[in-house]
Structure 1
Amino acid sequence: MTQIVLRTERLILRKMAIDDADNLLEIFADPKAMEYYPSTKNEKQTLQWIDWTLGNYENHGVGLWIAEHKQTGEFLGQCGIVPQEVEGASEMEIGYLFKRPVWGNGYATEAAAACKCYGFESLNLKKIVSLPDAKNLPSRKVAERIGMTLEKNIYKRGKEIAFYTVYR
């Protein structure tokens, strides 16, 4: 059964399920879409990603959600709120990753803005972060469009990360 978390003007964000593996592989197997990640993912790694996400739902009540087009049901990508350790502190991050054919349509911004509202209104978070690769200008623009401010650059997983924040 589909568990819808959020609706926006054009999108439905719903909980991820094992059945989403093939759709996620459309992103994870694409070297261009995964340019700022350590590597592409195969089917086994995609299933591990889904398990990690389901664990986040269970342990933290949040995680990455599947973004689908409200009218057509087309799989577009994923966006959600995930716990991240940053310089020894636990932060709640808005993360987003969409399939390449739908880039440039504003879906990541629309989904991320909805997640920001959800984080502040439903979860009562005081602060939300975003952690795009410092070289990933499109992802940085999404963070800026939803009102986040670049606080500093940090090093995480051996690379430079832009540390964006927004406060309630």
Structure 2
Amino acid sequence: MKDVVLSTDRLILRQMGREDVPLLQQIFADPVAMKYYPSTKDHQETLEWIEWTLRNYEECGVGLWIVENRINGEFLGQCGIVPQIVEGVREMEIGYLFARRVWGNGYATEAASACKHYGFEQMKLRKIVSLPDASNQPSARVAERIGMTLEKQIVKWNKDVLVYSVYADTEEVVER
């Protein structure tokens, strides 16, 4: 089993590996789950995504992690902290993407909240952002639920993106 990075009451967040292509394909091959991405991803594109994640682990010490059910090990999605350039500034983003079959169970909020605490407590970040598509209201609600505030709307990845942020010095414990 890959290294566990974080755990919550219901979830395990572990490092991603090349053998996780079939798991990630549960999301990446689903056009509904990928609605706010340019397109679905095939096997090769999923492998490239994993390679990008592995480079983030190497260069930043963090990246997207596989999220599994703590009790039965079921694959649920991915969530983690990744570097992004926002209007010329390098920011650390909490990103999340879950299998459609588990939407509505609070897993994204629980995982994102754990990542936020990790970013502030372990990485000593001063600011963390989330960058949902401007039309992706469920993703925006996750950012709000973990205590982020809408800062602005920008164009990134050739689309309108919301910039949510939270700062370490204004951090409050958000109840689930």
Using the size of structure 1 for normalisation, the TM-score is 0.99
Report SS of the residue matched to 1:163. Answer: strand
Distance 2:92 2:39 in 1: 23
Equivalent position amino acid for 1:48 in 2: E
Q: Find the counterpart in structure 1 of residue 103 from structure 2.
A: 103
Matches within 5 A, 1:28-43: 28-43=28-43
Matches within 5 A, 1:59-138: 59-138=59-138
Equivalent position amino acid for 1:110 in 2: E
Equivalent position amino acid for 2:72 in 1: T
Q: Find the counterpart in structure 1 of residue 172 from structure 2.
A: none
Shift of the alpha carbon at 1:2?
A: 1.6
Query: For residues 90-140 of structure 1, what are the alpha-carbon distances to aligned partners after superposition, in whole Å with 9 as ceiling and x for unaligned?
Result: 000000000000000000000000000000000000000000000000000
Distance 1:141 1:24 in 2: 23
Distance 2:24 2:128 in 1: 25
Shift of the alpha carbon at 1:38?
A: 0.7
Distance 1:23 1:12 in 2: 15
Equivalent position amino acid for 1:29 in 2: A
Shift of the alpha carbon at 1:158?
A: 1.0
Equivalent position amino acid for 1:4 in 2: V
Q: Could you list the runs of 4 or more consecutive aligned residues of structure 1 that deviate by over 3 angstroms after TM superposition?
A: none
Using the size of structure 2 for normalisation, the TM-score is 0.95
Distance 1:135 1:107 in 2: 20
Q: Find the counterpart in structure 2 of residue 146 from structure 1.
A: 146
Q: Find the counterpart in structure 2 of residue 17 from structure 1.
A: 17
Q: Which runs of 5+ in 2 are unaligned?
A: 169-176
Report SS of the residue matched to 2:21. Answer: helix
Shift of the alpha carbon at 1:55?
A: 0.3
Distance 2:79 2:9 in 1: 15
Shift of the alpha carbon at 1:81?
A: 0.1
Q: Which runs of 5+ in 1 are unaligned?
A: none
Distance 2:26 2:71 in 1: 21
Report SS of the residue matched to 1:23. Answer: helix
Shift of the alpha carbon at 1:157?
A: 1.3
Query: For residues 16-40 of structure 1, what are the alpha-carbon distances to aligned partners after superposition, in whole Å with 9 as ceiling and x for unaligned?
Result: 0111100100100000000000110
Equivalent position amino acid for 2:88 in 1: G
Report SS of the residue matched to 1:109. Answer: helix
Report SS of the residue matched to 1:101. Answer: helix
Distance 1:157 1:9 in 2: 34
Distance 2:38 2:126 in 1: 30
Query: What RMSD, in angstroms, separates the aligned Cα atoms of the two structures?
Result: 0.4
Equivalent position amino acid for 1:69 in 2: N
